[in-house]
Structure 1
């Protein structure tokens, strides 16, 4: 089974690409979704988070206070590494389960949609890396519009990620998502023509 690692910076529009690949019949393993699963109340990861960070990171209903955790780890690299060390093993465990399920169901290609694919060296676990990118100003404008952040808040988050120019060194495919949705879809279709084992659903080669 051929594994494509899909990644991109905040505001790059990676979900536009992953949604279209799903529409084309390719299973998509959503890293963000698995990360949310990891911190459901009562999970092993949640118990470990309580031990490491204390009870103040939880809301009254027992769920994780994501804003509080973000404040703690955003400017503390050591604590961010501790958080990742708790969450990422679960994500890989669940990813392996989904990979096995896709293989058992006969899918020739699967997408690993992971925002931090390169930061955690998961490029070693896929056959290809696809990078979704947009110009910096487009990236900033999208995040401000979507999340209500200030420009400086967006820039802080961008600076915490691997620079796009560095990510390009790992990318086998680069999708420019700065123009129309149809243009992005065209690039996806073109790239998929070269993926071993993939066949377009009937009538969708040029949709």
Structure 2
């Protein structure tokens, strides 16, 4: 029986870092961001839906999704972001389920579902436990500005478009403190793996 762990966080809190630590430890990870890219490739139903909802301006000359143009629309308007998530939600869910089933059939003792909108999209109902990767709001803002090379206002807009990290911490079964070094974060994840005894 596979143990399904939901992994989430907020933008720039370090979820990808933790996801990579699991991968390096040999744990299969189903990454919703990969699924989100897969379902909007040229010629897919997902890309057709986006074009119908947001117009031709979000499609590049090569026929692929112009992520920057779409990002400008959805991060400045919560209702537009909600619309995008609604448009692609079922397609991403099918992809996640398919990947999860593949690893279950392979007999993986632990499977991590790496999903940014885990709580918002109800995936917390599909996992045994939820791990949240957290930082303080000030570190989150600073890292996002540095990562995306954007100003304070733009960074705060992106953060405000999501459920706050404080709310997610309250709903978590496990919290990984990512305020410090990558080495410190890695120690916490590996300790969790050892303590849970699900990957032995």
Matched, 1:56 2:57: yes
What CA deviation, in whole Å up to 9, does each residue of 1:9-47 have, x standing for no partner? 111111111111111111011111111111111001111
* Residue 156 (structure 2) aligns with: 155
Structure 2: unaligned runs, 5 residues or longer: none
What is the aligned residue count? 199
Which whole-Å CA distance do the structure 2 matches of 1:137 and 1:75 have between them? 21
Structure 1 pair 104–46 and aligned structure 2 pair: CA distance change class (3 A) = same
* Residue 105 (structure 1) aligns with: 106
Pairs within 5 Å for 1:82-121: 82-121=83-122
Q: Could you state the TM-score of these two structures normalised by the residue count of structure 1? A: 0.90
Pairs within 5 Å for 1:6-155: 6-155=7-156
RMSD: 1.4
What CA deviation, in whole Å up to 9, does each residue of 1:144-202 have, x standing for no partner? 21110101111111111111111112100000011122211111122223435321xxx
Which whole-Å CA distance do the structure 1 matches of 2:94 and 2:174 have between them? 26
* Contact 2:134/2:169, CA 8 A, preserved across alignment: no
Q: Could you state the TM-score of these two structures normalised by the residue count of structure 2? A: 0.93
* Contact 1:2/1:196, CA 8 A, preserved across alignment: no
Which whole-Å CA distance do the structure 2 matches of 1:195 and 1:96 have between them? 24
* Contact 1:144/1:150, CA 8 A, preserved across alignment: yes
Which whole-Å CA distance do the structure 2 matches of 1:7 and 1:90 have between them? 19
* Contact 2:3/2:128, CA 8 A, preserved across alignment: yes
3-state SS, counterpart of residue 103 of structure 2 = helix
Structure 1 pair 139–76 and aligned structure 2 pair: CA distance change class (3 A) = closer
Which whole-Å CA distance do the structure 2 matches of 1:182 and 1:13 have between them? 13
Q: 1:54: Cα distance to partner?
A: 2.2
* Contact 1:29/1:98, CA 8 A, preserved across alignment: yes
Q: 1:128: Cα distance to partner?
A: 0.8
